[in-house]
């Protein structure tokens, strides 16, 4: 979670909401990392989770093409995603489609969370893949970063 928090803090430089994510491989190596980049890139899909998943998939694809990896790259079936905020519906869908078996997150998102708060996409039994969810890791620290960001934004408006 420390690496995800570091990514979240990097988002502050571009005035993006400070959310960070990392994808960890089965050996504990970081395969991908990301932070919110919606403001920076003008891309509504540039959520931390999606950025990290894309990077991890590309790294695995390159390893496979070079003979040093396994699979096709897009199946992150042995990986763990760690993110500072409960994934939204879009990110939860990407997690399911990438076949990520475990998600660890910090703060709950009571407005848009899709890992148990508002929706539970990650454990929806009607889907073809289910995800183990480990919530509340360093929750206070993750939530404080978001609270401080939004408090600062409200005072500038």
Look at residue 24 and tell me if it is in a domain: yes
The per-residue pLDDT for 152 is: 86
Look at residue 95 and tell me if it is in a domain: yes
The full length of the chain comes to 157
In 3D space, the residue among 47, 50, 56 whose CA is nearest the CA of residue 74 turns out to be: 56
**Cβ-based neighbour number of residue 69 at 10 Å:** 15
pTM for this model (two decimals): 0.94
Q: Could you report the per-residue pLDDT of 6-60, keeping only the tens digit for each?
A: 999 999 999 999 999 999 999 999 999 999 999 999 999 999 999 999 999 999 9
Q: How far is CA 63 from the centre of its chain?
A: 22
The per-residue pLDDT for 38 is: 98
For residue 7, give the CATH number of its domain.
3.40.140.10
Q: How far is CA 88 from the centre of its chain?
A: 9
CA 66, 34, 106, 90 dihedral sign is: negative
Tell whether 47 is in a known binding site.
yes
**Cβ-based neighbour number of residue 20 at 10 Å:** 30
Tell whether 79 is in a known binding site.
no
Tell whether 88 is in a known binding site.
yes
Look at residue 103 and tell me if it is in a domain: yes
Q: Could you report the per-residue pLDDT of 111-120, keeping only the tens digit for each?
A: 999 999 999 9
Look at residue 157 and tell me if it is in a domain: no
Number of structural domains found in the chain? 1
Q: Supply φ then ψ for residue 81, to 5 degrees.
A: -100, 130
CA 51, 116, 30, 142 dihedral sign is: positive
**Structural domain that includes position 93:** 1-151
Look at residue 156 and tell me if it is in a domain: no
**Cβ-based neighbour number of residue 59 at 10 Å:** 18
CA separation for the pair 138, 124 (Å, rounded): 25
List residues with catalytic annotation: 49
């Amino acid at each position: 979670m420390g690496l995800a928090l570091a990514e979240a803090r990097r988002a502050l430089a571009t005035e993006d909401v400070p959310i960070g994510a990392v994808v960890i491989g089965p050996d504990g190596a970081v395969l991908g990392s990301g932070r919110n980049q919606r403001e920076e890139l003008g891309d509504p899909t540039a959520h931390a989770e999606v950025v990290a998943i894309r990077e991890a998939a590309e790294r695995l694809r390159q390893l496979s093409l070079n003979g040093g990896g396994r699979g096709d790259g897009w199946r992150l079936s042995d990986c763990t995603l760690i993110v500072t905020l409960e994934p939204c519906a879009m990110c939860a869908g990407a997690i399911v489609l990438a076949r990520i078996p475990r998600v660890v997150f910090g703060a709950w998102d009571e407005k848009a969370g899709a890992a148990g708060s508002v929706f539970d996409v990650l454990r929806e039994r009607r889907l073809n893949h289910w995800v183990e969810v480990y919530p509340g890791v360093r929750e206070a620290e993750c939530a404080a970063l978001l609270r401080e960001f939004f408090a600062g934004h409200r005072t500038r408006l």
